[in-house]
Amino acid sequence: MTTIPADRAARPVTVVGAGTLGRRIALVFSTRGGTTRIVDPSAEARTAAVDYVRTTLPEVLATVDGGSAGTVEAHDDLATAVRGAWLVVEAVPERLDLKVQLFGDLDRLADDDAILASNSSSHPSRRFLDRVRRPERVLNMHFYMPPRMNAVDLMSSGHTDRAVLDLLLAELPRFGVHPFEARRESTGFIYNRVWAAIKREALAVVAEGVTTPEEFDRMWVLNTGTRSGPFRMMDHVGLDVVLDIEDHYAAENPHLPAAPRELLHRYVDAGHLGAKSGRGFYDDYPAPTPGQT
């Protein structure tokens, strides 16, 4: 049986990965005081992530009931970064081999009662357990794009202690996010499973020459009342990340059409990754800052 982490208010949260989502997850956990640690091998990425949290935090605090500014730290050593943490959130690229290795390391290095959560959007956490001795503390905790999109998917690894899920369902709203539990294993969880189908069909109509990214997004905004369309949102996630996710869906379901992935490949192969590279489906982004990933 898992020991639920005690003294949570006095212990840090650690985010592994300083990329687009890693820094946003760190921002979320910086809204209740205490310490949030970001660990990444890239000094430039660490600096950019810390700057993002410190710059954005005052605005976000105004939306969190009872919030208070926390301290954000940057680390380059995994063992140091996870020591004492009550929660460790993995936010590294969507490569299964990388995640298997990392969760083995986290299981070995983190405190015995620490919860180990993956932000993976397409891999269920049961696939990360090959080197994990305490799978009852591992689960998926998938964020979308906080602080604007604040829903969070929780999904068991198949071995996750029920008490871990219940704790996070109760604890996460304190940080201004809203958890929803996937009650069975589902590739894409809840919202993302539907969003993947929308995104794939949007890519298909552009790949077939029926419309353009800009025109599709304008129609989407008019019809839904949202601020951004799918192509703008994909640019902000990162087209390399979108492609990794689509490749994973296709590996599970080889009957999916290839044209959406081929379109993404053309952009990624040209280095047009979206906002983080300065150009994706749109080319009106500022030049990327050093370390932005």
User: What confidence score (pLDDT) does residue 199 get?
Assistant: 96
Residue 1 — pLDDT band, cuts 50, 70, 90?
Answer: low
Distance between CA atoms of 234 and 121, rounded to whole angstroms? 14
Task: Check pLDDT > 70 for residue 131.
Answer: yes
Q: How many CB atoms sit inside 10 A of residue 85's CB?
A: 25
Whole-model pTM? 0.83
53: left (phi over 0), alpha (psi -120 to 50) or beta: alpha
User: What confidence score (pLDDT) does residue 248 get?
Assistant: 84
Question: Would you state the structure tokens that stand for residue 225, as one six-digit string?
Answer: 């009342």
In this structure, which topology does domain 192-277 adopt according to CATH? N-(1-d-carboxylethyl)-l-norvaline Dehydrogenase; domain 2 (1.10.1040)
User: What confidence score (pLDDT) does residue 218 get?
Assistant: 98
User: What confidence score (pLDDT) does residue 257 get?
Assistant: 95
Residue 86 one-letter amino acid: W
The predicted model gives 14-27 an average pLDDT of 96
Residues 254-267: tens digit of each pLDDT? 999 999 999 999 99
Distance between CA atoms of 212 and 201, rounded to whole angstroms? 13
For CA atoms 123, 292, 143, 92, give the dihedral sign: positive
Task: Check pLDDT > 90 for residue 161.
Answer: yes
Residues 83-116: tens digit of each pLDDT? 999 999 999 988 899 999 999 999 999 999 999 9
Note the residue count of the chain. 293
Higher pLDDT, 123 or 35: 35
CATH class of 8-181: alpha beta
Residue 21 one-letter amino acid: L
Percent of all residues in the chain with a pLDDT value above 90, rounded to a whole number:
85
Contact 221, 228 (CB under 8 A): yes
CA dihedral 174, 175, 180, 185 (to 10 degrees): -120
User: Which residues are CB-contacts of 233 (< 8 A; sequence separation ≥ 6)?
Assistant: 145
Percent of all residues in the chain with a pLDDT value above 70, rounded to a whole number:
98
Domains of the chain by residue range:
8-181, 192-277
Average model confidence (pLDDT) across the chain? 94
Task: Check pLDDT > 60 for residue 292.
Answer: no
Task: Check pLDDT > 70 for residue 196.
Answer: yes
| Cβ density class 31-42: b for 16+ within 10 Å, e for less | bbebbbbbbbee
- Give φ, ψ of 29 to 5 degrees: -80, 0
Cis ω on the peptide bond leading into residue 93 (within 30° of 0)? no
**DSSP conformational letter for 10:** G
Residues 31-81: tens digit of each pLDDT? 999 999 999 999 999 999 999 999 999 999 988 988 999 999 999 999 999
